[in-house]
Amino acid sequence: MVQKIRLNKAIAESGLCSRRKADELIQQNRVTVNGKTVQSLSTLVDPSKDIIEVDGEKIKLQSKVYILLNKPAGYLCTTKDDKKRKTVLDLINIKKRIYPVGRLDYDTTGVLILTNDGDFANLLLHPKNKVPRIYKVKLDKPADIDTLKKLEKGIILDNKKSKFEKIYPVNKDNKFQFFVECVEGRNHFVKNMFQKLGFNVVELHRKSFAIFNDDIPIGSYRFLTDKEVYQVKSIYE
């Protein structure tokens, strides 16, 4: 059976623009499928057979790209910035349109996935899939592990019960640095959890995300293998 997809997704996967922008193009009567102007946002297409044109130019689907970046501090997790600040795309030499899967704060380092596969991104980010993340945290003052264990039991954050799966010291003599395991992807989640107990996070590094680890130098990147992509899909789909 032919697997058809939404027209806006087909346009986005060509690298031309985002799905939201594709919807705008459709509503502006700038998109045709097999020579006919399309206005319905729910239109389904088979990109391998249907001829899709935007402003008279035929689009072509891009091959899927999956990249692991060990993000350094001082870069925004966005595709562009109006203030001309550096983004994670400045670190990657690729012509295809890709985007980060979720976000790490400007000063946060560590594992970041970038791709042009929206389904893969959604798989990693959807809360129901409970994709694990491990962070290394440095606090502004010493903390007792028994106090921090409250974050394993759960606290109220943003009007909902929130918790870490695990929290433990980097080593038994270090009262400032801890490892945190969680399945949450909310913005500033780790920092906000510690703030609820009166601690500020001064350094935050994501050591792992799903099956991927920070096993490459900070600031460098590599392409994921087909085996790794398949493994992620087999675990979380």
pLDDT for position 14: 83
Q: Which of 50, 105, 119, 140 is catalytic?
A: 105
Instruction: Tell me the two tokens of residue 50.
Output: 């249907």
Estimate the share of the chain in helix, then strand, then coil, as percent rounded to the nearest 5.
25, 30, 45
Residue 7 φ/ψ, nearest 5 degrees: -60, -40
- The conformation of residue 62, written as its DSSP 8-state character, comes to P
Query: Nearest to residue 98, comparing CAs of 37, 178, 12, 156?
Result: 12
Asked if 186 and 159 count as a contact pair (C-beta separation under 8 A), the reply is no
55 counts as catalytic: no
With a CB cutoff of 8 Å and minimum separation 6, the contacts of 172 are none
Percent of the chain with pLDDT over 70: 99
Residue-level pLDDT at 172: 85
Give pLDDT < 70 ranges for the chain: 1-2
| Residue 49, CB-side half-sphere exposure with 13 Å CA sphere | 7
User: How high is the pLDDT of residue 2?
Assistant: 55
Which residue type sits at 53? E
Domains of the chain: 5-58 (3.10.290.10), 66-126+214-236 (3.30.70.580), 132-209 (3.30.2350.10)
pLDDT of 19: 86
